[in-house]
A and B are shown apart, each in its own frame.
Chain A
Amino acid sequence: MEFIIKQLKHCALVEINGRIDSYTSPRIDETIKSLIADGYCNLVIDLKKVTFISSSGILVLVNAQKKCIRNSMGQIVISSIPELVYSSFKLAGFDQLFEFYDDATTAVGSF
């Protein structure tokens, strides 16, 4: 799993590539927490190149979203999510907790 972080004017864009599972999700957790600590509370998580997500990966994003919403700091939105990866969000009932965009450009423009 690899990711690229782009710190933009109104938000940060995190492009993730590969699997998000119990092995890789702690790195994503650290990255998101670090961005929030740096003041980037509006985050676009682009999952275009993500091939798999487990419940541990979903919970990393859910917990970060909780923190953002609870503190009225901003929100996490998700872009370019593959259909099978989205099916796990839907199964867990977390599809209603995020805004999903077709591509990263549109998601960045939402802030």
Chain B
Amino acid sequence: MTTFQTITILAVAGAAAVIALHFFAAGRRLCREAKAAPRRPLGRWQRLLYAVTILSLLVLVFTGFWPAVRGEPLRGWLLMIHNSAAPAFAIGLLVLAFLWAERRPAGAPGATASATGFGRGQRLVFWAAALLATTLVLTMMFSMVQIFGTPGQELLFEIHRYSALAMVLVAMVHGYLVALARGLGR
């Protein structure tokens, strides 16, 4: 088993464990608070865009990590599906960033959950996702141009896959926070 396989399994299992612990420790209280708080549901187009972005992320995670955890290179049809889903995810996240960056400023003074429709955790998740998506897109783009030799290519690939792993963890946290915000588990 490669280092990346080990780290992937440990990281995902660890994140799941932390989420579970958090849920049992504070999840029910947070759910009650979320239910009581005023909700600002997304509009139809934003919901669609959000759904496409999440769906493409799931495709990317499956096509990217399925061979990775099996110790195989990404190739063939999986590679083509991965490459096809990447633009949808990148563009979707970019548009969401345009739409939500001002609405959910990271660390802005006075920005509260009620004012922004989003809590501190989700703000952190949003900016982490934006940073990681930028890294994911640019690492692959730079590997396609005549700049980096083999060591550079290897570095770009390593950054890409560890960023992808971080994105998976961020997505797990995001999913948990969304679930909490919807009062699941009450």
- Asked if A pairs with B, the answer is no
